A and B are shown apart, each in its own frame.
Chain A
Amino acid sequence: MGLLSKKDIKLITDPLADNNPITIQVLGICSALAITAELKASIVMSIAVLFVMGLGNLTISLMRNIIPSKIRIIVQLIVVASLVIIVDLVLKAFAYELSKTLSVFVGLIITNCIIMGRFEAFALGNGPVRSFIDGVGNALGYALILIIVGFFRELLGSGTLLGYKVLGDPIEKTGVYAFGYENNGFMLLAPMALITVGIIIWVQRSRNEALIEDN
């Protein structure tokens, strides 16, 4: 017996694939689409959500027996809002440029349905340790999609990864640009994020037919 039982490991691995919060549970789409034009922003956003979800699930789970069910939504919102303020202030202090790119979307972690969804579905009915693991697992599943989308959008859109010119210099025509390759600026625009996620869903559901909707 290790530190984590089989059930706990399942809590982490499930959201990474067959119960992914974005592509299957349809939670937390807004931020996933808006900030993925750069890989770096996606990674920072993922870390922020990981922090808020892990601690938020833990807090709600600890308080689950004393929250009156009628006002639970307000209590949940206050818990998330306090955690998000911490994230926002840390970002402003240590990565000011990045916090400008993310703009209001850091604040919108509060209403990110992935967080409320997991509070309602899991943390209100389970113990603190399992809730924490569930929060981390779901945040990782969210991070996975964000990083895939961010990777493709930055690579195809501006030919860079994390700001490094991996495909060569488009102006001096080095690397692949020497063969006439051009950046697809369209990838950086909003609509392509939607289409990229659509394609990820397509690939995932072709691999696992049990996930197909009957429309």
Chain B
Amino acid sequence: MEHLELFFKSIFVDNMVFATFLGMCSYLAVSKKVSTAVGLGAAVIFVMAITVPLNWLLDQYILQDGALAWLGEEYAAYDLSFLSFIMFIATIATMVQLVEIIVEKFAPALYNSLGIFLPLIAVNCAILGGSLFMQSREIASLDLAFNYGVSSGIGFFLAILTIAAIREKIRYSNIPAPLRGLGITFIITGLMAIGFMSFGGMLTGGDEETIKEEQTVQVKVKDNDKELVINEKETKE
């Protein structure tokens, strides 16, 4: 259940592009054709699925306050979290290079279709953003971190695919000349983001209900038996 919730939350509610504006640069630059957009989207899912869990391990066992305790008691006082930017970006850059070499060797067809996008991904803010949000939202376990990486990647994929499809369609529309290209893409993205905001209510609604249940439980514990019955009736009504 926790996995499912995180999965849908990262794709729709906290969508990388529409809610947090990450990966905007490549989103705007590579969305002129659907085929290239699919290539970049797939590469992002792939790289995020690797780097987010990796950075989670790094954060958990090296960077966090007291994370070095496994080395011995004298190391337990170190807090290396100020190094997280440089460690995360180094991990991402090396992983991207490594993935590029491996894919080129073992799957030349995939390499040709991803081709130029793989090296570009090292500087895609969605990737680093994924790791930084993973850190600031305190994702609890390794499999949740993997889930977060994959589903955020899918969210980016979804966004870039839809905008590429729309841009292919509007090529033949009569747009005011100064708005053509970049201008109208910004405005369409804004409208799409408004659409995606409607997903926001989906999961927060559930949270409120659980809070109410907890409150009634607390009342039950405090009150006498007679009052307990009255309380239950009230909540049922």
Contacts and interface: CB of A to CB of B under 8 A. Distances in A.
Interface string B181-205: 1111111011101100100000000
Given A104-B129, A111-B125, A190-B18, A212 B25 contact: no
A191 B128 contact: no
B93 interface: yes
A81 interface: yes
Interface stretch (B1-9, B39-47, B139-147, B172-180): B172-180
Contacts of B119: 73
A198 B189 CA distance: 10
A73 B21 CA distance: 23
Contacts of B194: 191
Interface stretch (A23-31, A124-132, A155-163, A171-179): A23-31
A205 B184 CA distance: 12
Contacts of B184: 198
Nearest to B181: A213
A78 interface: yes
Contacts of B22: 30, 108
A203 B183 CA distance: 10
Interface in B119-157: 119, 122-125, 127-129, 132-133, 136
B85 A84 contact: yes
B231 interface: no
B136 A103 contact: yes
B21 A34 contact: yes
Given A190-B21, A215-B171, A85 B85 contact: yes
A166 interface: no
B212 to A, nearest CB: 27
Contacts, number: 144
Interface string A188-215: 0111111101110111111001001111
Nearest to B129: A108
Interface residues of A, number: 49
Q: What secondary structure prevails in chain A residues at the interface with B?
A: helix
A206 B178 contact: yes
Contacts of A202: 176, 178-179, 183
A80 B133 CA distance: 20
B21 A78 contact: no
B186 A82 contact: no
A205 B176 CA distance: 11
20 contacts: A23-B182, A73-B119, A74-B90, A81-B86, A103-B136, A107-B84, A107-B85, A108-B22, A108-B128, A111-B89, A111-B127, A191-B18, A191-B193, A191-B197, A198-B183, A201-B183, A202-B179, A205-B177, A205-B178, A213-B180
Given A85-B86, A113-B123, 15 more contacts: A26-B25, A29-B21, A30-B25, A30-B129, A74-B93, A74-B97, A85-B83, A107-B128, A110-B89, A111-B124, A193-B21, A194-B186, A197-B186, A202-B178, A212-B180
Interface of B: 18-25, 28-29, 82-86, 89-90, 93-94, 97, 119, 122-125, 127-129, 132-133, 136, 171, 175-187, 189-191, 193-194, 197
